[in-house]
Structure 1
Amino acid sequence: MSITQSPLTEQPNTWQEAVKQLITCPTALLQFLELQPSQLDWQIDKHFPLRVSMSFAAKMQKANPQDPLLRQVLSSKEESLPTHNYTEDPLQEKAVNPIPGVLHKFKSRILLTLTQSCPVHCRYCFRRYFPYEANRVSTKTWPAIKAYLQADPGIQEIVLSGGDPLMLPDERIGEFLAYLEDVQHIKIIRFHTRFPIIIPERVTPHFVNMLNQSRFKKIMIYHVNHAQELCATIKAGVSLLQQAQIPVLNQSVLLKDVNDKAQTLIDLSWQLFAHGILPYYVHLLDAVQGTGHFAVDKTQAFALEQSLRHHLPGYLVPKFVKEVPGEPAKVPL
């Protein structure tokens, strides 16, 4: 995208078109938001460059350099400052990566990195340094994944992640699910996705019908950090999933100057509920190098969780958790 081109001159009609028209030029994004480059302490990151959709940018507040959505996608110079005890592999995933594409952290489930691509580059991403090339999944690697699953009857759930699994076409996702149908001890397929938040048009009747062809119980885990990210199109997609009896839950990451205020998280829970989504987790930041400026300490996080308990019904209070390498499950505060 050229610097002079407005990133939102034409709204795409399909999710495939939206992916082709992702905003990758920081100057174009700032121009659309009516911001001068001098108003922000930003930088160009060639390793993990800007990547965001037109529709997500349209939700950002014009002329506001502190917009919480902008802060999540525009690289800050703070990312170049080293942070003590922050690493490129904060969850030690290389140690639980037995075959390409498989992360086996917890006993009853595995995570599959079906794709390395996402429709957005979140600045706090804990897999920004993940060795995706060594974990590339294709039809050639499917037999090895299936054999790994067949060898361990204790695995009951597959978590599809990435990247973002919804970057794959419906047909490829359907083929993969059909390929695993005869692994009888697999009961649940869980999708972890930010795609419907970044490009809400992704959830279509065709996609939901494809999911319905599978015997597995399906669960969608969305990733919304701020109420400003939600919209009517997201709600319509959630409704399609609910009609197919596919529950939709949400997990957030606790981020300084994005959602680290009690009222912000309270508003998020209410808005999630209004859109048919139940709050599930609030994750403390994973200590990946370059993200220390987003960190919220445990004491503040605990106070936030208590405030939510005081102001929300129990079914709208997400669990505040931290992932600790080697632990058998997420660790609650």
Structure 2
Amino acid sequence: MPAHTRRPGWGPDPTPGEAPGRHDPSPAPAATPVRARAGQRGPTLRRPEDLARAGLIAADRVPALEAVAARYAVAITPAMAELIDPVAENDPIARQFVPDVAELNIRPEELADPIGDDVHAVAPGLIHRYPDRVLLKLAQVCAVYCRFCFRRENVGPDAASLPPAALAAALDYIAAHAEIWEVIVSGGDPLVASPRRLAELMKALGGIGHVRVARFHTRVPVVTPERVTDDLVAALKADGVTTWVAIHANHPRELTAAARTALARLADAGIPLVSQTVLLAGVNDDAETLGALMRGFVECRVKPYYLHHGDLAPGTGHFRTTIDKGQALMRALRGHYSGLCQPSYVLDIPGGHGKVPVGPCYRHDDRIDDWQGGRHAYRDAPTET
């Protein structure tokens, strides 16, 4: 971003002696909240002109970004806007949420459906890719719109939630397939739904005997933590089914005090938490930042689960790294950070062929690498027949 005057009340000041941006992995200092008149927190920012008025972009960028916003939805909640330092050219929070003209650069290899959801759609909003689980797209709306989203062609404020008839058809399919053990509830972001609707869904899933686990994938506790109320937490629990929540965050500064409180509310209710992170150039593609994020998750009782290699979504080439770089980062985490802090580095194979681990290999015939890069002889003991 070009440097321009920061609007008072937007974004934290840099820590003394440190430059803000991607290589500052420490949690953000307490920020002055974004305020509207009468001392109230400001609204979600949805248009480039809103971003300019908020001081997050220079006014002369508005016309170019209108073309981006016309194609891909924009939404930045107050919780995320507070974290953005508009003076920092490579602010990692801004990079995730503020639109960029680079998004209009569509590369030949990029795909509108990069992970092949459509190939495995068995009903509107229902994906059956793996034998024992399905993915249910409860809503195509999000609290924020990530600039790297792999479903960016389908989500937005004008997208509909799954209609009642379609949800009923999805539940009928799940009930008719006894091999389905887990229902992954995604979207969009399912936690933008009301507690009433979530409770109805959980009651329905709890009534299907072979469904034992419901997993919600969400950014809500991080980007709009005030939504994680006692009512919402209660809605996520139902007799007969165990609830897990997967938390999406990509930089340690996202784990604010408010986010930590929201995560604690979920954990204190007995809901196990796991993480998902996307490896993003200019956001978390260095070991210090990635390690700090994983430690932050563990401190919040969130078990690091997935580090996703960037998908081939349209207009996201400026976010993608190489698999070689991702493997090098995983090697850098191993040994230097607790075993609790080790996610699984995965790639969704384009075309709907599924998710596979692409982490580094430590075995080379009869030699094994250690965490410091040394190589040691090791042969399997012969087995008895």
Normalised by the length of structure 2, the TM-score is 0.78
Query: Cα deviations across residues 277-318 of structure 1 (Å, max 9, x unaligned)?
Result: 221111000101110111100111110010011311111111
**Consecutive unaligned residues in structure 1, runs of 5 or more:** none
**308 and 134 in structure 1: CA distance in 2 versus 1, 3 angstrom threshold:** same
Asked whether 1:49 is paired with 2:73, we answer yes
Deviation at 1:129, TM superposition (A): 1.4
My pick for the range that moved more, 144-153 or 252-261, is: 144-153
% identical aligned pairs? 29
Could you tell me whether the CA contact under 8 Å between 1:100 and 1:135 is conserved in 2?
no
- Give the distance between the partners of 1:89 and 1:11, measured in 2 at CA: 42
In structure 2, give the amino acid aligned to 1:25: R
- Give the distance between the partners of 1:204 and 1:165, measured in 2 at CA: 15
My pick for the range that moved more, 268-277 or 298-307, is: 268-277
Query: Which residue in the other structure is 1:106 paired with?
Result: 130
**146 and 265 in structure 1: CA distance in 2 versus 1, 3 angstrom threshold:** same
Runs of 4+ in 1 over 4 A off after TM superposition: 11-14, 37-42, 131-136
Larger Rg: 2
My pick for the range that moved more, 132-141 or 64-73, is: 132-141
Could you tell me whether the CA contact under 8 Å between 2:298 and 2:340 is conserved in 1?
no
Query: Which residue in the other structure is 1:123 paired with?
Result: 147
Query: Which residue in the other structure is 1:77 paired with?
Result: 101
Normalised by the length of structure 1, the TM-score is 0.89
* Equivalent position to 1:188, from 205, 213, 232: 213
Deviation at 1:93, TM superposition (A): 1.3
My pick for the range that moved more, 166-175 or 40-49, is: 40-49
In structure 1, give the amino acid aligned to 2:45: I
Query: Cα deviations across residues 88-127 of structure 1 (Å, max 9, x unaligned)?
Result: 1111211111110101111111001101100111010010
Deviation at 1:167, TM superposition (A): 0.8
In structure 2, give the amino acid aligned to 1:83: R
**12 and 274 in structure 1: CA distance in 2 versus 1, 3 angstrom threshold:** farther
* Equivalent position to 2:324, from 299, 309, 323: 299
In the alignment of these two chains, the number of paired residues is: 325
- Give the distance between the partners of 1:12 and 1:211, measured in 2 at CA: 34
- Give the distance between the partners of 2:127 and 2:256, measured in 1 at CA: 33
In structure 1, give the amino acid aligned to 2:135: L
**Consecutive unaligned residues in structure 2, runs of 5 or more:** 1-6, 11-33, 360-385
Secondary structure of 1:267's counterpart equals helix
Query: Cα deviations across residues 133-182 of structure 1 (Å, max 9, x unaligned)?
Result: 99852222233112211221111000010110011000011012212322
**34 and 320 in structure 1: CA distance in 2 versus 1, 3 angstrom threshold:** closer
Query: Which residue in the other structure is 1:22 paired with?
Result: 44
Query: Which residue in the other structure is 1:290 paired with?
Result: 315
Secondary structure of 1:43's counterpart equals helix
**229 and 40 in structure 1: CA distance in 2 versus 1, 3 angstrom threshold:** farther
Higher helix share: 1
- Give the distance between the partners of 1:102 and 1:135, measured in 2 at CA: 15
